[in-house]
């Protein structure tokens, strides 16, 4: 394995460990922070899917985001708002975090497992490649990423409501 790949793997593992640590500790709550990750992941998911000229894949990605939103709203109940050192903090649900993490690791694994020239030609070729061979795996993981982005958005709506109520109750005291 080349040294650059080892550095990249270490970097990705560090990012994941920091995200796990932050997930456990919680995040300082604000409207921007609550919606930042879902917005980023939805844009990235749509960019990944838009790189293939397949309208069916784009439609499936939108449906995955909507389905993820619905399930994120359900699992969003497990997210929490709490106080720490006088600050309003939040913690996302473990289930949604795990689904996002699996999608993230799967996407990175595909990038490593498939040669760059082969992956590029799959994405650049005809729309039929999106659902066959290597294109199938890219499409599947991209749809899973879109689904997890929708889940994060649904959960963020719950977190925002809880945050707004916490802010109202703390300012009313």
Show me where the domains of the chain are located: 28-172
The rounded Cα 124 to chain-centroid distance in angstroms is: 24
More confident residue, 24 or 172: 24
List, for residues 31-68, the tens digit of each pLDDT value.
999 999 899 988 988 887 777 768 888 899 899 999 99
Q: What's the angle, vertex CA 164, arms to CA 161 and CA 170, rounded to 5?
A: 140
Query: Angle CA(97)–CA(155)–CA(148) in degrees, nearest 5?
Result: 50
Q: Say how far apart CA 107 and CA 144 lie, in whole Å.
A: 9
The DSSP bridge partners found for residue 9 are none
- pTM of whole model > 0.95? no
pLDDT of residue 125: 46
Residue ranges in the chain assigned as alpha helix (H): 3-25, 31-50, 55-75, 94-113, 116-124, 133-172
Q: What is the pLDDT of residue 4?
A: 74
Burial class (CB in 10 A: 0-12, 13-18, 19+), 78: middle
How far apart CA 67 and CA 73 sit, in angstroms, is 10
**Per-residue pLDDT tens over the stretch 138-153:** 888 889 989 999 999 9
Contacts of 64 (CB under 8 A, 6+ apart): 143, 144, 146, 147, 150
Per-residue pLDDT band at 129 (split at 50, 70, 90): low
């Amino acid at each position: 394995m080349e040294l650059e790949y080892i550095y990249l793997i270490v970097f990705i593992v560090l990012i994941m460990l920091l995200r796990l640590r932050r997930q456990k500790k919680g995040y300082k709550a604000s409207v921007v922070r609550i919606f930042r990750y879902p917005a980023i992941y939805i844009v990235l998911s749509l960019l990944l899917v838009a790189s293939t000229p397949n309208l069916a894949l784009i439609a499936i990605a939108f449906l995955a985001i909507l389905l993820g939103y619905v399930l994120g709203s359900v699992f969003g109940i497990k997210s929490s708002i709490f106080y720490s050192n006088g600050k309003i903090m939040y913690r996302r649900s473990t289930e949604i975090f795990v689904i996002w993490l699996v999608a993230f690791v799967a996407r990175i694994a595909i990038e490593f497992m498939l040669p760059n020239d082969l992956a590029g030609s799959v994405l650049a070729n005809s729309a039929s490649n999106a659902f066959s061979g290597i294109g199938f795996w890219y499409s599947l993981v991209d749809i899973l990423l879109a689904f997890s982005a929708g889940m994060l958005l649904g959960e963020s709506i719950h977190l925002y409501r809880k945050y707004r109520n916490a802010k109202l109750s703390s300012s009313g005291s």
